Structure 1
Amino acid sequence: FCQMLLKGHNWSTRQSFHQLVQKKPSLLSLPSAVWNPTARGMFIQTQDTPNPNSLKFIPGREVLESRTMEFSTPAAAFCSPLARQLFRIEGVKSVFFGPDFITITKESEDLDWNLLKPDIYAAIMDFFASGLPVVTDEAPRTDTAASEEDDEVVLMIKELLDTRIR
């Protein structure tokens, strides 16, 4: 950036660097490596639904081939890395996948979609950029074995289940 700013500058004018920096170039004149609004290469459209607490996100690519899936709780999303990511967003109540769309239902009318949408957009874009499958063959965990995903409280609960209840 500094090289771009200094390039072509006439040093004989004895202009200070501070004065030079104040002549800020437009973001549009920066090279794409510095500022690239389409870096993720995905345009997600939204569509209202009859339910004001639900919003349809259309990523412009296939979500599920020819079926639908609904995840009403984070636990139900065991087989979908995308649904698990979406449930990590505070305020997401349920996730529904269609062939070419994702419908998110928020927890209450008090939550503003304008606050939720940026996180949802980011989760969807990051997921599709990762190349992971939307749905896996993973089975739900029914054991109480420790997992890398477990925090300290969950580990303590699992230990209590194993030692005191079983």
Structure 2
Amino acid sequence: MFIETETTPNPATLKFLPGERVMTSGTRSFTSPEEAEVSPLAQALFSLGDVTEVLFGQEFVAVTIAPGAQWADAKPQVLAILLDHFVSQAPLFAAGSAAGIMVPDEDEDFGDDPADADIVDQIKDLIETRVRPAVANDGGDIIYKGFREGVVYLKMQGACSGCPSSTATLKHGIESLLKHYVPEVTEVRAA
């Protein structure tokens, strides 16, 4: 088995492509060893010590390492764990867990005004069809968190969280797109 590796705009994150489906749909992000307990693969990656985030996409695994850590040291270890996992065809999640389903953080969900339902549907459709595929190409994901008084709140994950260009992506890329197609949008902010 061969696992392809791609750089991302975030120098702390590498994108690993095992050449087979990782998630059947959606994404799942882990930002701590405690969160990773539902996934043997994520647990193994966090056990390396320098891993700060793991993101499972449909066809990739994005791994972020801590500031000061070097990919020259971490990459062979990450590749070994990924190879062992995919060659053995081990499950991605522990039996009985609903961990494969991406669930937004309830404490960060802004809730939407029912009067804005049409606007929210337009925003979600644009994010799903135009933004998420582009962000996934860079080893990340973006999650809709809410719309309030013209402001769209989005959460960046994987290579996108902590990326030096994430603010520019939000402000100049995503905000411009949403403003163009949905005139009610006045601003995009990170949640």
**TM-score of the aligned structures, taking structure 1 as reference length:** 0.56
Task: Please list, as runs of the form range in 1=range in 2, the aligned pairs for 1:15-164 lying within 5 A after superposition.
Answer: 42-108=1-67, 110-136=68-94, 137-138=96-97
Aligned to 2:79, the other structure's residue is in SS state helix
Q: Is the 8 A contact 1:79 1:135 kept in 2?
A: yes
Identity %: 41
| Helix, strand or coil at the partner of 2:77 | helix
Residue ranges of structure 2 left out of the alignment (5+ in a row): 100-191
The root-mean-square deviation of aligned C-alpha atoms, in Å, is 1.6
The one of the two structures with greater contact order (alpha-carbon pairs below 8 A, sep at least 6) is 2
Unaligned segments of structure 1, at least 5 residues: 1-41, 141-166
- Bigger CA radius of gyration: 1
| Residue identity matched to 1:120 | V
1:139 is displaced (CA, Å) by 7.5
Residue 14 of structure 2 aligns with an amino acid whose one-letter code is: L
Deviations along 1:84-143, one digit per CA (max 9) or x if unpaired, are 1111112111100000100000011x2211110100000001111222211233389xxx
Q: Which letter maps to 2:89?
A: G
* In 1, Cα distance between equivalents of 2:11 and 2:20: 24
Query: What's 1:20 paired with?
Result: none
Structure 1, 98-107 or 85-94: larger mean CA deviation: 85-94
Residue identity opposite 1:76 in structure 2: E
**Number of aligned residue pairs:** 98
Aligned partners of 2:87, 2:11: CA distance in 1, in Å? 29
Q: Which aligned runs of 4 or more in structure 1 are off by greater than 4 angstroms?
A: none
Relative to structure 1, the CA distance from residue 52 to residue 86 in structure 2 (aligned partners, 3 Å threshold; closer, same or farther) is: same
| AA aligned opposite 2:86 | F
Q: 1:139 to 1:67 in 2, by over 3 A?
A: closer
CA deviation after TM superposition for structure 1 residue 50, in Å: 1.4
The code of the aligned residue for 1:62 comes to R
Q: Distance in 2 between matches of 1:48 and 1:103?
A: 10
